[in-house]
Amino acid sequence: MHIKVSSPTSALKFQEGLPPVRVVVVGEKEDVHQEVPCLYRDRGLCVVQTGDCACGDNIYAIIHEATGTSLSAHIHRQLHVLVALQSLHAFAVDWTLSGDELEAALNAAPAHVRIFVTSLRSGRVAFGELPQRPQAQA
C-alpha cells in the first residue's frame, strides 16, 4: 500500500477540544484505566500523546476507542501517526466494533491487513522521508 502525503501541512492535522480517551495502561499486576487527552479522533480510532522522548520529540499512539487498547507502538512524529491511522482506515475493517468483534474481524481480514496491524502494534513499521525529485529543467 502506498499513501502519498504531500507535506506536513496537508489536511492531516491534530484536532482541538476533543473529549479525553480512556486508555488501558498494562501493569505488572493489573491493568489500569486512565483518561488522556485526545489529539485526533476518527471512526473508532484515536491518537494520544503517550510521553516525551529524551531527544525532545513527543511520543504518540493510536488507540482503539471502544477498548482503550493501543494499536501502535511508539511513533515520534505527528505526521507519521496520522498517516498510520489513515492507513488503518484504508482497510475494510470497522474500527468502531467492540474488542472481541474487532479481533474476529481482524482474524477474518486478508493477510496483508493482519500483517500491517501486527507490525504496527509491535513497532516494526518504519517511517522515512522520501527524497524529493529534482525539478525538470525547461
Q: How far is CA 74 from the centre of its chain?
A: 9
pLDDT in tens, 21-34: 988 887 778 888 88
Note the pTM of the prediction, 2 decimals: 0.80
User: Bigger pLDDT: 116 or 74?
Assistant: 116
In sequence order, what are the residues at sequence separation of 6 or more whose Cβ sits closer than 8 angstroms to the Cβ of residue 14?
39, 40, 47, 78, 82
Indicate if the alpha-carbon torsion angle 118, 47, 94, 112 is positive or negative: negative
Give backbone dihedrals phi and psi of 54, rounded to 5 degrees, phi first.
Answer: -60, -25
Mean pLDDT of 104-118: 95
Top mean pLDDT of 5-14, 54-63, 112-121, 123-132 is at: 112-121
85 has pLDDT over 60: yes
pLDDT in tens, 4-16: 443 344 455 788 8
